[in-house]
């Protein structure tokens, strides 16, 4: 009978939340639709900018007119990614005007004496007049291509000089004499990988989870607070409390229903947000065997992490419901819960960019006291194979959550749930 009553209350709470347009649209549909739309717009814009930057038009005026400078111009002209337009010798202002008329990205001028300086092992003079038409991503990509063109010109010039000075030398060896081979050692395991690539992937994983945790908690607390505040405004909560139902069951139903809706909203948010972030990814990272380094966590990690998040989420929902009980209306409840975003965001931001052990002692004490620190801390510690931190987190969160639930049960067991009011507005 008790289970049936609790189940009915849970179904009722979920239906009430889904009937509220603010919850369904704002918490579930909007993140699911808005971020993909934004991501698609950005992706299309970036692809368009890349297409424009793929074929850069460059005008070259060779004032030297010697074999080395002419060979350099020919090599650049054979590059498929750029269009080289040779200009006859003319005044500089006319050359710049002609480049603008041809919609060129830049004018490259090979100064007189360019070849002679190179043959004498001196630096040849080359001046670039970059024509910036707009301040946008497309123009930035064109300037990047221009930089690569100049780098290629320098490489070609080096090869031409070496061909005359040392015909038997390999230009690629002379310009890049060191062959670097990386061997990365992590947890006494050695793999042939670039350490920067490995660290980049691990950092990416370490920053994604804090964002997910923060989003889940904020969504859940806002939904739980809104649910209580709406019922107080409409006196539905007062009617519900008059029914022959255990008040603890009422509290439990609200917690479970809020968690279900918050989970759906969080999934929608993360799916959309991930699509949005992937729009900025120009190239995928190289394939790396994370399993060989032990960076793929075992099932125990996911079990413990799920338990940590569940306990922490339960305490967050309980706190949100408690605050909403003391609010006069929905706006007041959301304002009260809004203050809790600070202790949710701050630990995540700290742990995303630094190791908690490197922080000052006072900051460590504050972070360890905040219960919302432990989901992120547990996730990072588990990836490093330190399950003791996860067990300590479970113990701390369990004690904290039991205290919050005890206090919430005491409030629901009294008439304070109907009479208590707290407003952030100034009294006139």
Looking at residue 103, which CATH number applies to its domain?
3.40.1710.10
Q: Are 255 and 224 in contact (CB under 8 A)?
A: yes
pLDDT of residue 284: 43
- CB-side exposure of 296: number of CA atoms within 13 Å? 5
List the alpha helices (DSSP H) in 120-235: 137-165, 171-175, 195-233
In a domain, 216, yes or no: yes
Query: 167 with 217, same domain?
Result: no
Which residue in the block uniquely carries the two structure tokens 């904290």? 400
Query: 233 with 116, same domain?
Result: no
pTM score over 0.95: no
Query: 73 with 111, same domain?
Result: yes
Query: 37 with 62, same domain?
Result: no
In a domain, 185, yes or no: no
pLDDT of residue 282: 44
Q: Using the 8-state DSSP alphabet, how is residue 370 labeled? A: S
C-alpha to C-alpha distances, 428 to 110, 158, 335, 425, nearest whole angstrom: 77, 80, 20, 9
Q: Are 223 and 258 in contact (CB under 8 A)?
A: yes
How many domains are there within the chain? 2
Query: 235 with 348, same domain?
Result: yes
Query: 197 with 238, same domain?
Result: yes
Q: Residue 235: left (phi > 0), alpha (psi -120 to 50), or beta?
A: left
- Classify 423 as helix, strand or coil: coil
Strand order across the beta sheet in which 126-130 lies: 82-87, 56-62, 106-110, 126-130
Query: 138 with 240, same domain?
Result: no
Query: 7 with 113, same domain?
Result: no
Reading the block at residue 162, the tokens are 């070496």
List the alpha helices (DSSP H) in 234-340: 236-241, 247-278, 299-325, 330-338
Give mean pLDDT in consecutive 10-residue pieces for the chain, a chain of 428 residues. 66 74 66 69 65 75 88 83 87 92 90 86 86 74 79 80 74 72 74 73 66 75 75 66 68 74 66 61 51 69 81 82 76 79 85 83 91 86 82 93 82 65 52
Distance, in Å, from the CA atom of 319 to the CA atom of 321, rounded to the nearest integer, reads 5
Query: 280 with 237, same domain?
Result: yes
> For 16-25, which contacts have Cβ atoms below 8 Å and span 24 or more sequence positions?
16/227, 16/257, 17/223, 17/227, 17/257, 17/258, 17/261, 18/261, 20/226, 20/230, 22/226, 23/223, 23/226, 23/261
Distance, in Å, from the CA atom of 87 to the CA atom of 63, rounded to the nearest integer, reads 10
Where does a domain end: 146, 174, 202? Answer: 174
Domain ranges, residue 211: 2-43+193-419
Query: 208 with 254, same domain?
Result: yes
Where does a domain end: 174, 205, 230? Answer: 174
Task: Give bridge partners of residue 110 from the DSSP assignment.
Answer: 62, 126
Reading the block at residue 208, the tokens are 């994604």
Query: 315 with 403, same domain?
Result: yes
pLDDT of residue 93: 92
Query: 323 with 221, same domain?
Result: yes
């Amino acid at each position: 009978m008790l289970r049936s009553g609790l189940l009915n209350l849970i179904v009722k709470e979920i239906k009430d939340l889904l009937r509220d347009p603010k919850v369904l649209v704002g918490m579930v549909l909007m993140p699911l639709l808005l971020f993909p739309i934004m991501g698609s717009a950005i992706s299309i814009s970036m692809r368009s900018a890349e297409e424009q930057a793929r074929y850069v038009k460059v005008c070259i005026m060779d004032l030297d007119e010697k074999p080395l400078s002419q060979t350099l111009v020919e090599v650049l002209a054979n590059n498929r990614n750029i269009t080289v337009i040779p200009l006859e010798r003319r005044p500089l202002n006319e050359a710049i005007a002609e480049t603008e008329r041809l919609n060129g990205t830049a004018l490259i001028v090979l100064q007189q004496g360019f070849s002679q300086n190179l043959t004498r092992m001196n630096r040849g003079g080359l001046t670039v007049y970059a024509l910036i038409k707009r301040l946008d991503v497309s123009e930035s990509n064109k300037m990047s291509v221009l930089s690569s063109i100049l780098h290629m010109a320098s490489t070609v010039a080096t090869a031409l000089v070496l061909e005359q000075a040392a015909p038997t030398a390999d230009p690629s060896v002379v310009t890049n004499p060191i062959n670097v081979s990386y061997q990365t050692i992590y947890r006494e395991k050695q793999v042939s990988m670039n350490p920067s690539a490995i660290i980049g992937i691990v950092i990416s994983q370490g920053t994604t989870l804090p964002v997910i945790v923060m989003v889940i908690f904020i969504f859940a607390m806002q939904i739980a607070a809104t649910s209580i505040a709406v019922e107080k405004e409409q006196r539905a909560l007062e009617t519900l409390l008059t029914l022959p139902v255990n008040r603890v069951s009422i509290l439990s139903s609200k917690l479970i229903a809020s968690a279900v809706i918050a989970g759906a909203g969080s999934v929608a948010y993360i799916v959309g947000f991930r699509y949005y972030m992937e729009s900025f990814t120009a190239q995928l990272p190289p394939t790396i065997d994370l399993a060989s380094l032990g960076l793929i966590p075992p099932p125990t990690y996911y079990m413990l992490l799920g338990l940590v998040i569940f306990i922490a989420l339960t305490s967050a929902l309980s706190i949100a419901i408690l605050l909403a009980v003391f609010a006069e209306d929905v706006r007041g409840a959301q304002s009260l819960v809004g203050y809790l975003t600070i202790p949710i965001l701050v630990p995540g931001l700290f742990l995303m960019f630094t190791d908690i052990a490197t922080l000052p002692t006072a900051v460590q004490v504050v972070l360890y006291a905040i219960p919302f620190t432990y989901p992120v801390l547990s996730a990072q510690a588990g990836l490093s194979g330190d399950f003791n931190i996860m067990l300590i987190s479970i113990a701390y969160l369990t004690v904290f959550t039991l205290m919050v639930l005890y206090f919430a049960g005491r409030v629901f067991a009294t008439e304070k749930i109907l009479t208590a009011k707290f407003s952030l507005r100034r009294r006139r």
